[in-house]
Every structure is written in C-alpha cells, then in structure tokens.
Chains A and B, each alone.
Chain A
C-alpha cells in the first residue's frame, strides 16, 4: 500500500482507526446538524417528486443534494428513527448510526484526498510522497475540521485534486467536468479556472482551447438544464432565471468572503491579488512548474487576502501536503497548521458551542482575546510566507 513499510502501514491504519473512533464523539450540533437537517429536507423533497429550489439553499444546494442520499440511506436502517432534535439531545444507537452514515462522504473524501496527495506528491518528488501522505493523514488540523466539525468542504477539495490529476494527464474534458462539479458544490474552484487554463495553454498551446471550451460547455449545459427543468416545474422561464440570478445575492456573505478584505468601497483585495498572481505566473513561473503548485498559489492568495472561516483552509490543505513534499519545510508546515487549528479554537464561540464553557465568567476571556488574534496573526503570516516563498523561489528558478 503506497509503497509504505510494514511499520508505516500499521501507523496509517492506526490513524484510520482513530478517525473511525472519533466519528461519534463530537456533539450533534452546529454545522453538522445543519447539514443533516438540510439533507433530510432535500431527501424528503426528492422522494416526494419535487425538485429542490436553488434559492432556498443558495450555494449549498450542491452539497446538500449530495448529502440527501446518505440521509435516505440512514432511513433504511432497521432502527428506530427518532426526530433530529431528540437525536441531538440524547445519545442513542440511532444518533451514532446517523453520525456514521452522514460522515461517510467525509471518510471517502479523506481517503481519496490522501491517495491523490500521495500520487500528486509522487509526480513532483517521488522520494517525499510518503511524507506528503503522512502530513495529510495525521494533520491535527484536518482531523479536527473533518471529524470533529464535519466540514464538507473536503468534497470539492477532492474534486479539485482529481481535476489536477486529470490536467497532468491532459484529460482536459474530465478536468473541466471535475472543476465544474466542484464549483457547483462550493463556488471557490471557479477562481482556479484561469490558473488551470494558463497551465493548459502552456502545455498544449492552441489546443488548450479544448479544456477551456470544455469547461464552458460543461458549465453552461447543466445550467441550461436546470433553467429549463425549473422553468417547466415553475411554469415560467423568466421566474427561474431570476431565481438563479439571485443565488449570489442570497449568499452574498459567502461571495464577499472569497473577495477578501475590502480596502475601499469598491476595492477588494483578493481579485486584485489574483490578477497579480496571474501576471507573475505568466511572466515569471517556469512552464515545468507542477500543476498542484500552480493551483495552490491562488488558494493561498484567497487565504492571505481575506478573512475566511478556519475550515475553509481545507480547500488548500491537501495541496499544502503536496507542496510539503517539494518544500520539505516541516517547521513552516507545522506552524501554519498548528496556528490555523488554534486560532478558531481560541475563540469564545467554539468553547461555548463544544464544551459549554463560559470563559467570560471564568475570567479567561483576556487570554482568549490575546491568543485568538495572536494565533490568527501567526496563521496569516505563515500563509503569506508560503505565497511569497512560492513566488520568490519560482523567480529564483528553483
């Protein structure tokens, strides 16, 4: 398995055992409960023959659609299916089974992410592929956000990894399809498309129009299908179009997250820096640069130029493990993820939500006030270092 020694195989399997054990422990609340609740509603809708509304779920539509079958699967289990509120309040077999079933997408994604990290790292630096795999598998940041917080963002992240794999193999249509599905699931991969396109143009020359057109075709076709199908359901094409156009407005917080810090009324940092990154990529990066690195750069731009939730960093986490195989800087890697893990943990809501501790009452708020910004600062600093180093090293011809 992965060319690992017997000892390492045991360690990896122990890691999987730990993950399986971790699954039922977190409280059934917060985002995870929202995912289940929405999965339940959507599953019921689909079973009753109705098409779930786009505007009702905004950009989470895709992920919830993906989770609905898992909820349906749970309803098939021969156990007593208690209401969600009761499941959340009291531990029971039904609750644990629900947690296992609804976290299956996480388990699968985690496995495939590890596999793809190993493959992509192996393409870039075969001798360090194992390090990359282990850095993914045992990263406490990943463990926390995947198995404690149940962050579904890993699913589009895996699709981006698959797109990279397809891009390396020059299977551009498949690459475009993966990017499209990832975009439907979580918006951000659309920002990566220019970077894939630039890589494709450099690799293929004019033939690269194929992946770009593929992407457009793949993107537009399902959109048209949705429009038409929704139009048939609602009886009005115009109403359906309006509904679709309102999706970004309905989820404006998600969009503004990706746009980054606003430095003036009409000036957001992320698009500006993404354009700079595109210029640097075209003008200064060598053609031979690994696609995984090309794709990681815009993700780091997003994470250094705006404030996103801690779990969003899972978008970049697998690629960071791949980059670790190239860079081999364990200290920087560890500091990035440790500070990333600690910065949200040191915020009051997390303590209240997961542990029920009122830190203000217990007098620890000043420490939280200190550690939160400090850890966030370290996390932002290390991400900025990665981005700068990545660019500077390319400028230096490394």
Chain B
C-alpha cells in the first residue's frame, strides 16, 4: 500500500483513534439529525404523496412514517400543512415529523458510510483508509443536502448499488445480483451498472455462467419490479419520466437543437461505447480498481450527456470517494472543483434550495413580508438576468466540463496503446 494517511495530519487523530473517529461520527450525525428536524420540507418531500407514484417503495415507507406519527401524536395536521410550515412556525410535533420523514435517508447515509468503510477495508485492508473513506462521505456537505435535507430516494438506490458491489468483493455474486435487482426496482438507472458487474463476474469467478445468468435474471426482475409500481402511476407521468429522466431516452435535442425530433439516446450510445472500450482497453479489467473506475466512467458519461438534476450526483459520489481516497489522491482536487461547481449550479437552479414554506433549506427566509436585506439581495441576485443568462450557464458548463475531465483522467490510464501493464489491485 503506497498511499498512507500521513499527509492528512489534521485528520490523523480521527483516522488512527477509534474512539475519536466514533466521537466525530456521532457529533456529525447529531448535527445532521438536528438539521433534519429544523429544516422545512423540501419540494421532494412535499411532492411525495402527490406524485402519483404512490406504489413507489420509498413513498410507501414515507407514508407509513407519516401515519405512525399521526397515531403516536394523535395529530390531525395534514401533510400539506406540515410541508408549508416554516422553521419558525413548526412546533415540537412538526419537528418530530420533519426528523421522522428524513430518518430513512439519514439511516441510508449512515449505512453508506459503513458500506464505504467496509469496501475500503476489503480493498486495502487498512482501517485508517476505511475511516477516511467513511468520513469523506459522511462529512461531505453534498450528502447532507442530498440525503438528509432534500431526502431524495436516490440515496437508498445508491446504497443498494454500493452493497451490491461490496457483495461482489465478498465473493457473494448471488447476493450482489439480488441487491442490484432491488436497486433497479427502485430506480432504473442501476441497470446501467449491470454490464460492469457482469464483466467483473466473468473475469473473477468460477461457475461464472450460473452467476451471470442470475445477474441477468435479477436485472430483468428489477426492471419488472420498477415497471410494476411505475405503471400504477399515471401513464402520462410515465411517458414524461421515460423521456426526461431515465437513462435510455435522452433525446439528441439536448446536444443539438437541429435534431430535436430524432429518437436517439446519446447517453445510451455513449454508455454502450464506454462499456465496449472498457472491456477492450481497460488496464486490468479483472481488478477492483477497474470496476470502480468503470462505474464512475459510466455514470459520469450519463451525467455529462443528459439533463441531470444535481441531487442525482449521489449515484456517482460513493465511487468517486473510493477513487480519490484509495486509488488517486491527485483526483481529490478535481473532485473538489467539480463539487464546487455542482453546488453553484444546484444553488442557482434550486433557488438557493427554496422550499414550499418560503424558507430555504439553508434556513434563509426567501418569501413573505419584511424580508431581511440579505434575503432581498439573494432574491435579486437569483432573478437577475446576468445570473440567469450568464452565471448559471457558465456554472453548469464548468460542472459538465469538470465531470468530463474527471472521466478523462480515468480513461487516460486505459491501455490504448497496447503496452502491457501490471496492476496491483
């Protein structure tokens, strides 16, 4: 293991001392829980019962929690009333509800940290690197906003995907397939990752035919599960969902307005190309490092070529964290810049994390009478034409450019020239 944690002197005490690590982890968890209870409902949380996809497993869980809250507190407050309550008008019961509805995402957040710890431990055998990986996830402000504050279900999908990969490293391919099927059942995008797992199984397991068959069957089951609850929603929403957000139908019009009627998913084309090129030219396609890199390349390719919501970056984040903590510390700088532009774009497109309550998730009042001067300044900045037509496009372009640079920094190490190289992991 060439990489050490010596250079991370500031973090060293938390990485070397188990108690210090757990104390830091607990303190941050406490802060996250407190913010979960204080923050107003995000649009994602508000839209849950009204989204039409009432059969979605995530919504079933959330609705169950809401019903449980009503029973325990004997409250007759409606979901809409909670969703529009400001941090100032929330009483104890509503704060309890806020925390409760964000609890599944918080639990996923914790489990993701554990998963990353176990994965790093499995790959490197180093407890310190395991802790570093875990903290890089848990202390990341992005996860706070995406998981706890926005409470997007993608955190659960990302968790299942991560554990699917972890099971693969533990030599439990069947479990890996089942977990992947579960994640596909929740959201279609993990189907994009199935070929990477397939290639890894093909290169690393005996009895691979059986495992590959299981993987394909589970992938198919996952799609059926996804469609089964999706079809219970409105068909028009299904069409909208398919043609706007899913990995397989991004129209070419996104890239070229001349061809907006061409039914071609450029992202799908690129992902297919990436997989074949990874199969032919990746440095050592049986290694764990290559598996992680392929997953990042595939997800970033989709990210770069589609109309992406910033919170969906959570699909890629665990693997990027594994990359810069375990494989290349140099890419940390690239990731930090990428994250800055991601936050910048996210802030501008979400109206500084506006919520139905008129408050931002940053607890800044954005609507209503007698706004403080800084709120007015923020509103003015957001509505300014310079922001809309110059700052936001530039920010988004920079985000896509750095995502592409990260991607290129990975594929440049592939064996394009045909020279034989060895790989340690």
Would A380 and B248 count as touching, CB distance under 8 A? no
In Å, the complex CA distance between A45 and B263 comes to 40
In Å, the complex CA distance between A384 and B274 comes to 10
Would A369 and B269 count as touching, CB distance under 8 A? no
Output the least CB separation between A274 and chain B (Å): 19
- Are A382 and B276 CB-contacts (below 8 A) given A376-B263, A376-B264? yes
- Are A366 and B235 CB-contacts (below 8 A) given A347-B263, A373-B251, A374-B268? yes
Output the least CB separation between A324 and chain B (Å): 15
Would B418 and A374 count as touching, CB distance under 8 A? no
Interface size class for chain A? 20 to 34
In Å, the complex CA distance between A261 and B269 comes to 15
Would B269 and A380 count as touching, CB distance under 8 A? yes
Interface size class for chain B? 20 to 34
Q: Which of B9-17, B43-51, B105-113, B254-262 contacts the other chain? A: B254-262
Output the least CB separation between A2 and chain B (Å): 31
Would A373 and B276 count as touching, CB distance under 8 A? no
Task: Say whether chain A's binding surface is mostly helix, strand, loop, or mixed.
Answer: helix
Output the least CB separation between B228 and chain A (Å): 14
Would B249 and A369 count as touching, CB distance under 8 A? yes
Would B256 and A262 count as touching, CB distance under 8 A? yes
Q: Which of B152-160, B239-247, B323-331 contacts the other chain? A: B239-247
B residues within 8 A CB of A380? 264, 266, 269
Q: Which of A70-78, A206-214, A387-395 contacts the other chain? A: A387-395
In Å, the complex CA distance between A389 and B238 comes to 37
Task: Say whether chain B's binding surface is mostly helix, strand, loop, or mixed.
Answer: helix
The answer, yes or no, to whether B84 is at the interface (CB within 8 Å) is: no
In Å, the complex CA distance between A392 and B264 comes to 25
Partner of B269, one of A363, A365, A384, A389: A384
Output the least CB separation between B271 and chain A (Å): 7
In Å, the complex CA distance between A16 and B239 comes to 42
The answer, yes or no, to whether B360 is at the interface (CB within 8 Å) is: no
In Å, the complex CA distance between A370 and B263 comes to 9
B residues within 8 A CB of A356? none
Output the least CB separation between A188 and chain B (Å): 19
- Closest B residue, CB atoms, query A371: B248
B residues within 8 A CB of A262? 256, 258-259
In Å, the complex CA distance between A381 and B280 comes to 15
- Are A377 and B267 CB-contacts (below 8 A) given A261-B256, A366-B235, A396-B418? yes
- Are A370 and B249 CB-contacts (below 8 A) given A378-B269, A384-B273? yes
Output the least CB separation between B262 and chain A (Å): 5
A residues within 8 A CB of B259? 261-262, 307
The 9 closest A-B pairs by CB, nearest first: A377-B268, A381-B272, A377-B265, A396-B418, A380-B269, A381-B269, A374-B248, A373-B265, A385-B276
